[in-house]
Structure 1
Amino acid sequence: MPWSTPFLTSLSIRGAYPATLPWLTTRDFVFDYLIIRAGFSASVIAERLATQSGKKVLIVDKRNHISGNAYDHYNEHGILVHKYGLHIFNTNSCEIFEYLSRFTRWGSYEHRVLASVDDQLVSIPINLDTINKLYGMDLNSFEVEDFFKALAEPKKYIYTSEDVVVSKVGRVLYEKFFRGDTRKQCGLDPSELDKSVIARIPTRNNRDARYFTDTYQPMPLHGFTRLFENMLNHPNIKVMLNTDYLEIQKAIPCREMVYTGSVDEFFDYRYAKLPYHSLDFEYETHNTQVFQPAPVINYPNEHLYTPMTEFKYLTGQEHSKTNIVYEFPKAEGDPYYPVPRPANQEIYKQDKALVDTRAGSHFVGRLATYKYYNMDQCVDQAFSVYK
């Protein structure tokens, strides 16, 4: 179903100045917290404050929907798609899984990715089958471990993403799988990026083709947006969409603030604009039940786009048609991923010094802390800030 619920729709602001709304003119109605944006970090903190602490919370978002970049919706053909590219939930935390289970039922899923390399589709992360198929060999787990060691270039110190890969699997596999992909996505060579960018991608000597090995990796049965709707469905939580918080922060009294937007934007780019990776998306609907042999196919070298995702693998939806999305990296646009480089961290440190001077303001999430977080890490950080 398209995103819409009575408790939220009634609070959406479409061109109306907030002070004209009846519920804003009550003098003694004061919110305890103003929360900027409605993604994972913001929504978890709002839910905890409302349900556990009895606080009154106002969430404000410039967009016309909740859920942040995890927003999903049904397209014109009735296919559930992710508006801002692929989002996969995975965690090893029982606490986080059980918490989110209060707001959604789950569908079974294990994420698998193929990479187009040397005119073949092979498993990524690199595993035993990847090597055997790529090189036409029949190695076992012990032999492939020796194969990796023979290719590896030992490094005394690991500083960059290039160091991470070549020290594990050598320069040939680095060029085939990682360098082109990283340059497209980040606009930078892996040798220019912090080791953390690629360190999360494992190399395996077995046939495990799962992208993640976390204990919990299901997908919300009815989508992420429904999960957020349930999370925010509380009388102490009000939501204003299509609204810049700068337009209402003086009109609506709040005791404290939780900010989950870009930290440099909050301070009006006092020192410099922090670089972020952005993305463009192109969606296609095809008159076939299945379009490609895996949920995601990466194209590290041969196209301008990087992954191609088919959503029905993720959602388990039964439909006579299917939808795919191409992701095109770009340097400018909506901020998606921080760029971990020493120079950028120096800029962030200056912003962080300003953050530390603001009593009653809490900066949470990927953009506000200029750090890459998975969804479960956003939830975990939100728990910590709430406590």
Structure 2
Amino acid sequence: MIGPVVKIDPATLPRRDNIHYLGGKSYQELPAYLVGWDLAMLPFARNESTRFISPTKTPEYLAAGKPVVSTSIRDVVRPYGQEGLVRIADTVAEFVSAVETAIKEDCPESGWLAKVDAFLKQISWDRTWSSMMQLIDSALATRLQRSMAVYLTSLEEQGTTDSLMDGFSTGINQSPGIVTRDFLFDYLVVGAGFSGSVIAERIASQLGKKVLVVDKRSHIGGNAYDHYDNSGILVHKYGPHIFHTNSRDVFEYLSQFTEWRSYEHRVLASVDGQLVPIPINLDTINKLYGLNLTSFQMPEFYASLAEPKEYIRTSEDVVVSKVGRELYEKFFRNYTRKQWGLDPSELDKSVISRIPTRTNRDDRYFTDTYQAMPLHGFTRMFETMLNHPNIKVMLNTDYREIQKAIPCREMVYTGPVDEFFDLRYGKLPYRSLEFKHETHNKPVFQPAPVVNYPNEQLYTRITEFKYLTGQEHAKTSIVYEFPRAEGDPYYPVPRPENAEIYKKYKALADATPGVYFVGRLATYKYYNMDQCVAQALTVYKQISVKQQVATVGGCL
């Protein structure tokens, strides 16, 4: 133990042969002691005195490459504990266990140190100082603008603006509007998911504009955010995100920010006590019914089950008309009920607009031209995308809190459209998800990346992440998905009455100048990742054209 013994009787300190109290040391001496440590501890008592502390020892120990175990001090738990960089323990038994585990994982194979380095790069003193200066400059610029506006108004009333302009032309090189321009952001982007990040990158890199990106969450990447859990396994915090697209433009755009790992997704479904491929294919039917059909016999088999419908109105109509009621009951009805909280007969046909059925043994879940996963994960891709001198990112921030303090010329909004307009026409319904993450002390948990449960289980599916990422690890991490009526918005509920509410909000959005509404929440439509990127690129082109027109107009 290094440090002075104060505010406590030294006689009350624990005494053991292997516990040493070395007293205070100078900063210059500390590295010589630290280099020999196996692990660093932050054994703070939890009381009113430590409730709001934020120990800088945490990043300092991590920067030295030492594993850290701490009691549950709030500013250590978040973000260091949540990001899997520091182990949290409050009892003696927990502390001993955490220390033993942390020491074992202090090796290159765990990937722990790489995670630490990547995180610390985002919180350097230089970066913090730069962010502070940006805020200070913006505040000063706003103050100057307001002061100049008041001053100019006063001079106009006195009829002395001409002499003022003469003073500016001789004593100041630029007009007040241009003087303050360097302190303003051109665009405020609300949301650091796919839609917001893509538009921010394009505006910053192609138009040379200054962009401020804000997000309520403590991380970038939106729902695609991935991170290393406490066992060092890369997991998707908000459930599996599988990238696939038929768009060459989208794939080539994202390829600027990541290398790829080729990956074709496969899913099994637990039906009648068996795991069978889904989408339904030749092997699914033969295994489920104990048949030995060939690909040539499959169209006739599907036709024998199908119940043709004159009018297709609901999701139930879509499925039953294609594969019949028996397969509908086995594969689709319960899964849809759990996912949406409604029977398929109550849902619009768009929910299950296309039922993929195969007549061969193709067990790929997607058939897109481009199927791959970011080699180092989605978060790394987003970090690269947003790593531009014209982009500043503020996390844990509600845009309403800074909108007036940091003025921006235009806004790109990717949040819920109903919240933007203060729920004027009521709240738009969404389905949400709850995730239960687990790590198992074995290399493989299940025989496929995802297993669907279209039965009475409360969860809809289980995902095993190592299939998705290709990571090799002695343990494996999985996630259960439980659909919920309340929580973070994930899936817009496609019913006619909801579409009518959205039409009203869209009319408000269309009539709001200087704001671009982009993404699934802002347009109340579920998009795959590639669709989010494609829409964002389209909106960027609109912004670019508008900028070109403004530039030409300014030169005339």
Pick from 139, 160, 166: which aligns with 1:25? 139
Contact kept, 8 Å, 2:224 with 2:379, in 1: the verdict is yes
Partner residue in 2 for 1:274: 428
For the residue of structure 2 that corresponds to 1:86, the secondary structure is: coil
Aligned length: 384
Write the distance in 2 (CA, Å) between the matches of 1:49 and 1:369.
21
Q: Which has the larger radius of gyration?
A: 2
Q: Deviations over 1:79-135 (max 9, x none)?
A: 000000111100011111111011011112110000000000000001111000000
Q: Residue 19 of structure 1: CA displacement?
A: 9.9
Partner residue in 2 for 1:369: 523
1:63 aligns with 2:217: yes
For the residue of structure 2 that corresponds to 1:69, the secondary structure is: helix
Partner residue in 2 for 1:351: 505
Q: Residue 10 of structure 1: CA displacement?
A: 6.7
1:6 aligns with 2:6: no
Partner residue in 1 for 2:539: 385
1:205 aligns with 2:205: no
Amino acid at match of 1:277: R
Output aligned runs, 1:30-69, within 5 Å.
30-69=184-223
Q: Residue 11 of structure 1: CA displacement?
A: 10
Pick from 316, 324, 330: which aligns with 2:470? 316
Partner residue in 1 for 2:156: none
For the residue of structure 2 that corresponds to 1:111, the secondary structure is: coil
Partner residue in 2 for 1:86: 240
Write the distance in 2 (CA, Å) between the matches of 1:30 and 1:317.
43
Identity %: 74
More contact order relative to length (CA 8 Å, sep ≥ 6)? 1
Partner residue in 1 for 2:485: 331
Partner residue in 2 for 1:151: 305
Amino acid at match of 2:513: A
Write the distance in 2 (CA, Å) between the matches of 1:69 and 1:11.
29
Write the distance in 1 (CA, Å) between the matches of 2:265 and 2:325.
27
Write the distance in 1 (CA, Å) between the matches of 2:303 and 2:134.
68
Aligned pair in 2 of structure 1 residues 326, 11: CA closer, same or farther (>3 Å)? farther
Aligned pair in 2 of structure 1 residues 18, 43: CA closer, same or farther (>3 Å)? same
Write the distance in 1 (CA, Å) between the matches of 2:346 and 2:381.
38
Pick from 228, 233, 237: which aligns with 2:391? 237
For the residue of structure 1 that corresponds to 2:244, the secondary structure is: coil
Partner residue in 1 for 2:415: 261
Contact kept, 8 Å, 1:12 with 1:239, in 2: the verdict is no
Amino acid at match of 2:462: M
Gap runs ≥5 in structure 2? 1-114, 142-179, 542-556
Write the distance in 2 (CA, Å) between the matches of 1:19 and 1:359.
30
For the residue of structure 1 that corresponds to 2:404, the secondary structure is: coil
Write the distance in 2 (CA, Å) between the matches of 1:147 and 1:322.
39
Amino acid at match of 1:161: S
Write the distance in 2 (CA, Å) between the matches of 1:62 and 1:305.
28
Q: Residue 25 of structure 1: CA displacement?
A: 3.1
For the residue of structure 1 that corresponds to 2:307, the secondary structure is: coil
Output aligned runs, 1:90-105, within 5 Å.
90-105=244-259
Aligned pair in 2 of structure 1 residues 11, 307: CA closer, same or farther (>3 Å)? farther
Contact kept, 8 Å, 2:227 with 2:235, in 1: the verdict is yes
For the residue of structure 1 that corresponds to 2:411, the secondary structure is: strand
Contact kept, 8 Å, 1:114 with 1:297, in 2: the verdict is yes
User: What TM-score do the two structures reach when normalised by structure 1?
Assistant: 0.96
Contact kept, 8 Å, 1:281 with 1:325, in 2: the verdict is yes
Partner residue in 1 for 2:458: 304
Write the distance in 2 (CA, Å) between the matches of 1:6 and 1:192.
50
Which deviates more, 142-151 or 18-27? 18-27
For the residue of structure 2 that corresponds to 1:66, the secondary structure is: coil
Write the distance in 1 (CA, Å) between the matches of 2:136 and 2:209.
21
Contact kept, 8 Å, 2:139 with 2:406, in 1: the verdict is no
Partner residue in 2 for 1:292: 446
1:161 aligns with 2:275: no
Contact kept, 8 Å, 2:187 with 2:408, in 1: the verdict is yes
Q: Residue 7 of structure 1: CA displacement?
A: 5.2
Contact kept, 8 Å, 2:436 with 2:479, in 1: the verdict is yes
Which deviates more, 201-210 or 69-78? 201-210
Q: Deviations over 1:245-278 (max 9, x none)?
A: 0101011110100100011111111111111110
Contact kept, 8 Å, 1:38 with 1:61, in 2: the verdict is yes
Q: Deviations over 1:155-175 (max 9, x none)?
A: 112121111100100011001
Write the distance in 2 (CA, Å) between the matches of 1:288 and 1:189.
38
Aligned pair in 2 of structure 1 residues 5, 25: CA closer, same or farther (>3 Å)? farther
Write the distance in 1 (CA, Å) between the matches of 2:435 and 2:282.
33
Contact kept, 8 Å, 2:135 with 2:406, in 1: the verdict is no
Aligned pair in 2 of structure 1 residues 145, 300: CA closer, same or farther (>3 Å)? same
For the residue of structure 2 that corresponds to 1:285, the secondary structure is: strand
Contact kept, 8 Å, 1:35 with 1:59, in 2: the verdict is yes
Contact kept, 8 Å, 1:7 with 1:233, in 2: the verdict is no
Amino acid at match of 2:324: G
Write the distance in 2 (CA, Å) between the matches of 1:20 and 1:295.
45
Write the distance in 1 (CA, Å) between the matches of 2:518 and 2:412.
7
For the residue of structure 1 that corresponds to 2:371, the secondary structure is: coil
Q: Residue 302 of structure 1: CA displacement?
A: 2.7
Write the distance in 1 (CA, Å) between the matches of 2:493 and 2:504.
16
Write the distance in 2 (CA, Å) between the matches of 1:151 and 1:18.
66
Write the distance in 2 (CA, Å) between the matches of 1:346 and 1:52.
37
User: What TM-score do the two structures reach when normalised by structure 2?
Assistant: 0.67
Contact kept, 8 Å, 2:466 with 2:477, in 1: the verdict is yes
Gap runs ≥5 in structure 1? none
Pick from 333, 338, 345: which aligns with 1:179? 333
